[in-house]
Amino acid sequence: MKVKRLSKYSLQNILNGKITEDATCVIKFYSNGCHFCHELKDVYEEMSETFPDIHFFAFNIGDYPQIQKKLEFRGVPTISLVNAYGGAPEIKTMPEPEKPHKITWYTADSIKLFINKEKQ
């Protein structure tokens, strides 16, 4: 499945439980000035093909800087998984890697493990 860019409005709908169908969403939070974020793009797109039943999104934190405080993360790239059921969603944020990849920050294997652990 192709990675889609989220607007602030769409992100708020997902996070506020305004999704009308059961869905699992993975959201990569990024910044235009983050070199890790740009390098992670291909790995993240590969993940979207590995998990065709999950919706993959990218969100530029410049569109809604308060999201970092709301979801309690400290920088980008950050990856969150949202299990949405048409009510209060479950939001899980991928922990910071103990040994970040020097180019992409996260690795494909660490993202796969996170998704497999947290998806419903």
What lies within 8 Å, CB to CB, of 102 at 6+ separation is none
pLDDT for residue 20: 80
Percent of the chain with pLDDT over 70: 98
Q: What is the mean pLDDT of residues 87-116?
A: 95
Cis check: omega of the bond before 77, within 30 degrees of 0: yes
Question: Measuring CA to CA, which residue among 10, 16, 19, 117 is closest to residue 71?
Answer: 16
Percent of the chain with pLDDT over 90: 88
The answer to whether residues 81 and 69 touch, using CB atoms and an 8 Å cutoff, is no
Whether the model clears a pTM of 0.75, i.e. scores above it, the answer is yes
pLDDT of 1 higher than 80: no
pLDDT for residue 10: 95
- CA geometry: angle at 15 spanning 31 and 42, to 5°? 40
Domain ranges in the chain are 4-118
CATH number of 4-118: 3.40.30.10
Which amino acid, one-letter code, is at 21?
A: E
